[in-house]
């Protein structure tokens, strides 16, 4: 009888595996789940997940996973490991090979959780000159489904565009809304009587959601022209920011060129304190130097991407934990609940 109870307890555990970029996040999610006393024990799965000397991914599952529920947490973003910097492609291939290893071991994968899922910015056939462009968002969706077609579910934090959900055909794919998590962690002085600003037309829904979470009244939209991928020029604004603190909301910060340009434009329009709330902080290339020299007063960003060197110490950047949100998302999936409820506002 005692052995039966012990076996039942083990089978009720959910084993958590991760690619290299998400190792720390996986540990934090397990800790957050335990701290919140959530039903269903998350425990680390044992595996060797790394790279051969030539950069080829290597994965071996060491836990007994046959028939057991597993969760894979995978961050698809560049990741520095000591003196070695792995590309977004490295992390994507390692994730796919991890999924294949679990399939070969007959694991039952409950969901694949992407704190940050790269490749989603190219989600339609629209280029600088022609419409003959790749749709990388569809490619990554089809790759995930092909390598482990038995996985019923995947989810990602604050995806670039919701139409990406339709690229997943054999598994359900859901967005994990993150703006409520950011709003709950913003200090009061950052949003007291502020105007929420969308840096472009595509981000209006995101800005409106944050405005609702914070209980604010005013929204402004910056209209810009796209010069090339990653570069845009602010041209006019709908809304009044003169003499007001503003919160600029965006899904990600890459090289920060567009964001810094928008901040400069807002300052010229009379904005006072400029705060930025973003979900994903890639901070590529000259991003940190640009932010340091910019009109931006403070940036709050989730750690969906492992902070690059210099990010955590940057005087204008505050990194907020995403692990409690991911733990709640896994619990919701296990209980058959929609992830949309994670983004609903609570009365203030």
Catalytic residue annotation: 224
- The DSSP annotation for 219-278 comes to EEEEEEEEEETTEEEEEEEES--TT--EEEEEEEESS-HHHHHHHHHHHHTT--SEEEEE
Do 164 and 172 contact (CB within 8 A), yes or no? no
Dihedral angle over CA of 26, 27, 29, 32, nearest 10: 180
Nearest of 25, 10, 9 to residue 64 by alpha carbon: 10
State the residue for tokens 């920011």.
241
Residues forming beta bridges with residue 299, ordered by sequence position? 276, 317
Do 119 and 72 meet the contact criterion of CB atoms below 8 Å apart? no
- What does the alpha-carbon distance between residue 306 and residue 289 come to, in Å, rounded to a whole number? 19
- Cα 245 to Cα 65, 272, 298: the distances in Å are 52, 5, 12
For residues 49 and 31, the answer to whether their CB atoms sit within 8 Å is no
> Strands, E, within the chain: which ranges?
14-18, 42-44, 47-51, 57-61, 69-73, 79-81, 84-86, 108-114, 153-157, 172-176, 195-198, 218-228, 231-238, 246-253, 274-281, 298-302, 317-320
Name the nearest CA neighbour of 233 among 242, 223, 220: 223
**Nearest 5°: CA angle at 162, between 156 and 167?**
80
């Amino acid at each position: 009888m005692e052995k039966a109870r012990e076996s039942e307890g083990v089978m009720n555990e959910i084993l958590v595996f991760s690619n290299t970029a998400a190792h720390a996040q996986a540990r934090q999610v397990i800790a957050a789940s335990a701290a919140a006393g959530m039903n269903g024990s998350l425990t680390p799965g044992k595996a060797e997940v790394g790279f051969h000397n030539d950069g080829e991914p290597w994965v071996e599952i060491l836990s007994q996973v046959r028939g057991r529920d597993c969760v894979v947490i995978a961050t698809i973003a560049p990741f520095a490991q000591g003196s070695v910097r792995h590309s977004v492609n490295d992390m994507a291939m390692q994730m796919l090979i991890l999924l294949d290893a679990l399939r070969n071991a007959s694991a039952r994968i409950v969901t694949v959780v992407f704190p940050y899922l790269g490749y989603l910015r190219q989600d339609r056939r629209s280029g600088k000159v022609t419409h003959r462009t790749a749709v990388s968002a569809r490619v990554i969706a089809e790759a995930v489904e092909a390598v482990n077609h038995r996985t019923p579910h995947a989810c990602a934090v604050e995806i670039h565009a919701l139409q990406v959900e339709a690229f997943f055909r054999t598994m359900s794919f859901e967005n994990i809304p993150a703006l409520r998590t950011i709003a709950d962690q913003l200090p009061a002085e950052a949003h007291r009587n502020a105007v929420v600003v969308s840096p472009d037309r595509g981000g209006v829904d995101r800005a409106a959601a944050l405005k609702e979470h914070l209980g604010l009244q005013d929204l402004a939209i910056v209209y810009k022209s796209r010069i090339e991928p990653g570069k845009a020029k602010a041209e006019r604004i709908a809304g009044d920011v003169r003499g007001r603190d503003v919160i600029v909301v965006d899904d990600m910060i890459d090289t920060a060129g567009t964001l810094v340009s928008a901040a400069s434009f807002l300052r010229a329009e009379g904005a006072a304190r400029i705060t930025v709330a973003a979900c994903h902080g890639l901070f590529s290339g000259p991003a940190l130097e640009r932010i340091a020299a910019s009109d931006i007063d403070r940036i709050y960003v989730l750690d969906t991407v492992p902070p690059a060197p210099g990010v955590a110490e940057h005087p204008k950047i505050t990194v907020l934990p995403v692990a409690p949100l991911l733990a709640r998302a896994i619990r919701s999936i296990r209980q058959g609940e929609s992830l949309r409820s994670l983004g609903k506002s609570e009365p203030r």
